[in-house]
Amino acid sequence: MRFAFRSLRARLMFAFLAVTVAAVGTVTIVVFQSAEREVARYERLINQLEMTRMSHWLIGYYTARDTWDGIQPFVDEMAVMLGARIVLTDRTGRIVADTAQDPSEPRFSRTWPSRSLTHYPEMDPVGTLHVSAETTIQATFRRRLEASIEYFVWVAGALAVGVAILVSTAMTRPITAPIRELARCARLAGAGDLTVRVEMSHESGELHELASAFNTMATELETAATRRSHLVENTAHEFRTPLTNIRGYVEGIRDKVVPSDVAVPILLEEVTLMSRLVDDLQDLALADAGALRFVIEEHDIASVIRHAVRAADPAATAKGVRLAAVGAEQPVPCLLDANRIAQVLHNLITNAITSCRADDTVTVALQADSTDIEITVCDTGAGISTEKQPFVFDRLYRGDPSRSRTTGGSGLGLPIAKHIVEGHDGTIHLESDEGQGTRFIVRLPRR
């Protein structure tokens, strides 16, 4: 029994039945109490009427004879008509008539309903009429009424339970069927099949929202799994290239094919690139875990921009790209982590220079008001196609897969830049037209 009620359908049906039984029981109690109250009120009214009628007849009898002698047959006849035991006492309290036929009947009690027999209110009574608390007719009526009520309650209860079972079956099936389907899809997803989706009906409601939420979760998990797979593949590729170069030069040194004074600077460059890639991956891991720390202090953002432009100027000059800062002449104090923002600017400016050709221009512009600052890195390079723009902030993504690490970077700079900007409660987005250049716009609060 305990295992049977683990089913949602069984629990819902049990709940319907419990509510039905409780309702029927409540109605039964109310009906019986109401019937008992009305029957008692009716009996009291009938008793009062009958006793009034009998008292009038008995007073007439006593007035005509001035004695209670010979009254027993008449009292017996009234008892038969009333269906109750009647006791008549005279003015001294002596019993002059008693309709008791069976010695086993209860003894006469003066607590029974009674009526004084008097001609006028101011005269002494000539006797007292006593009637048993419950008449035979009343008892029979009560038993039949109770039996009728009990019969109809059982019939109504049986019908209510049957209807409750039918209704609960009809109502629980549309609820439990989608849940079973959702459980099946969840088991498949847990087994690794992230392509499974719950088929949603055209109906709206909580179950439709639950199915939609599951499908959204499955889609996001599938996307995350795909990205994770690509991340592992691309990371392995990024490490494989420098490791292959290092191995080749080390073997060249061992075989005395490559002079050490030629190989060492190249080996140092490859190790530096690998170290930078490891640092970038560590920054992303910290950002994902919410543990990327910022040292927020007051700095001059204009000075940070000027320094970033000066640091990138040799690379721009070597490629024949014009690099300039606009709007960074005057100090603009704000609260930020200067080193992290400089890292963002380095990534954006480096990407802009990489995408440019000789005689192209890269401009870093600064605008500020009392609440926000806006930094724009704009280039006149090749631009980014519309279909590639949604992926530029993905990890290890390169717009041109043919680019090497030296010409296209590791593909981690922009994801790190996005995490840093969002860690400052800011936003970063791009605007680009293929063949007409790209603009990265960073907005930060001045706080």
Per-residue pLDDT, averaged over 140-166, amounts to 79
**pLDDT at site 415:** 85
**pLDDT at site 191:** 84
| pLDDT digits 0-9 by tens, 387-400 | 888 878 876 665 55
Sheet strands (E) in 288-368: 297-300, 322-326, 333-336, 361-368
- One-letter amino acid for residue 63 of the chain: T
225 Cβ neighbours under 8 A, 6+ residues apart: 194
| CATH 3.30.565.10 domain residues, the chain | 297-445
Cα first-last separation, the chain: 64
**pLDDT at site 405:** 47
**What span, in angstroms and rounded, lies between the C-alpha atoms of 235 and 383?**
26
For residue 3, pLDDT over 70 is answered with: no
**What span, in angstroms and rounded, lies between the C-alpha atoms of 413 and 356?**
17
pLDDT averaged over every residue in the chain: 81
- pLDDT confidence band for 166 (50 / 70 / 90): confident
Q: Which CATH number fits the domain 212-288, given the four candidates 1.10.287, 3.30.70, 1.20.5, 1.10.10?
A: 1.10.287
| pLDDT digits 0-9 by tens, 5-36 | 566 667 777 777 788 888 878 887 888 788 77
Most confident of 87-91, 140-144, 145-149, 286-290: 87-91
CA 103 to chain centre: 75
For residue 138, pLDDT over 60 is answered with: yes
303 Cβ neighbours under 8 A, 6+ residues apart: 328, 331
**What span, in angstroms and rounded, lies between the C-alpha atoms of 20 and 28?**
12
**pLDDT at site 404:** 46
Helix (H, G, I), strand (E, B) or coil at 197: coil
**pLDDT at site 320:** 93
| CATH 1.10.287 domain residues, the chain | 212-288
Q: Using an 8 Å Cβ cutoff, are 175 and 207 in contact?
A: yes
| pLDDT digits 0-9 by tens, 229-244 | 766 776 776 777 788 8
In eight-state DSSP terms, residue 427 is: E
Give domain 297-445's CATH superfamily: Histidine kinase-like ATPase, C-terminal domain (3.30.565.10)
**pLDDT at site 59:** 87
**What span, in angstroms and rounded, lies between the C-alpha atoms of 207 and 125?**
82
For residue 176, pLDDT over 90 is answered with: no
Q: Using an 8 Å Cβ cutoff, are 352 and 362 in contact?
A: yes
**What span, in angstroms and rounded, lies between the C-alpha atoms of 168 and 18?**
11
Q: Which helix (H) or strand (E) holds 442?
A: strand 437-445
**What span, in angstroms and rounded, lies between the C-alpha atoms of 389 and 201?**
35
